[in-house]
Amino acid sequence: MFWEEKMERKGLLLLTAVLMLTACKKEEKPQGKAIARVDDIYLLEEDLKVLQVPGLSWSEEDRSLLLDNWIRNTLLYLGAREEGLDQDPLLKRKLLWSERMLLAQEYLKRKSAGLTVTDEEIDDFLKDREELFKQGISIVIVFFSDSNRAPYIRKLLRRRGRRYRYAMEELRNQSDINVTELDSVNLGYLFLEFRSIPEVLKEKLRWMRKGQVSKVFSADGEYVIIKLLEKFPLVPQKSEVRSYIRQVLYERKRAALEDSLVEALRKKFKVEKISGGS
């Protein structure tokens, strides 16, 4: 969780720097408390509040990094403006698209502000899945597009010892085959995260034995074969599991809301894919 939070902070700081640049303009009398200035451009205390992620506060380190990044990027912006890049038609279009994307994300954010996941929903989700979070597995997943390759792939995956290592090298050298290895993964998390693995194949993982190779399954225009390398018991933290499930269920609700909003707006506005454009 600590690592994820640090990455979220860094991502937020980068996003902040980008957003600040899109708002750069001359402001002789800033309307608020200025905390940094580069020539005729100010960074206000209110800017930090606008960009604040709920539940994530600025540390002194974050604040210092933000100011340094803002100053560096604003100086570069002024250099670009001095050379007339702010009048470049292509850059104006890019800024317009940035503004539209920002508004679209804010629209979705506000529409989803009331979404919640209740404890009852988490309990219901865990009814038939709680045991999954008490199992750890290591697996090899092979994706490929030609179903005729399945016998060849399954034959290589069945090899053992040194011959298996050579088989994996052979598979990785095939341009039409994608090999992914997952080491010591919580089976419950795998069920939630890996949408590219068919649900029926995930169910098979419950009962597969060490060294067993699955049959071939289709998924999104591709084919999938899995080999179970290891299976072992886990004692997960209940609070962490519930927190993780809450986040996943929330993201699913948010995605469903986005789909419904898009469908409703599609009926309201004229949508057309125009062929022949360069």
Q: Where are the domains of the chain?
A: 2-91, 120-233
Q: Are 201 and 217 in contact (CB under 8 A)?
A: yes
Neighbouring C-beta atoms of residue 9, cutoff 10 Å: 19
Q: Which residue has the tokens 């902040």?
A: 16
Alpha carbon distance 91, 86 (integer Å): 7
**pLDDT truncated to tens, each residue of the chain (278 aa)?**
333 444 444 445 445 544 554 445 555 556 778 888 888 888 888 877 766 666 667 788 888 888 888 889 899 999 999 999 989 999 999 999 999 999 999 999 999 999 999 999 999 999 888 888 999 999 999 999 999 999 999 999 999 989 999 999 999 999 999 999 999 999 998 888 777 677 777 788 888 999 999 999 887 788 999 999 999 999 989 999 999 999 999 999 999 999 999 999 999 999 998 876 55
Question: Which DSSP letter does residue 125 get?
Answer: H
Angle at 8 between CA 4 and CA 14, to 5 degrees: 145
Q: Are 217 and 144 in contact (CB under 8 A)?
A: no
b/e map 104-123, b = 16+ CB within 10 Å: eeeeeeeeeeeeebeeeebe
Q: Are 115 and 257 in contact (CB under 8 A)?
A: yes
Q: Are 37 and 31 in contact (CB under 8 A)?
A: no
Closest CA to 186 of 243, 137, 129, 242: 137
- Output the pTM of the full model: 0.68
Give Cβ neighbours of residue 139 (< 8 Å, ≥ 6 apart).
Answer: 181, 182, 185, 205, 226, 227, 228, 229
| Fold category of 120-233 in CATH | Chitinase A; domain 3 (3.10.50)
Question: Which DSSP letter does residue 213 get?
Answer: B
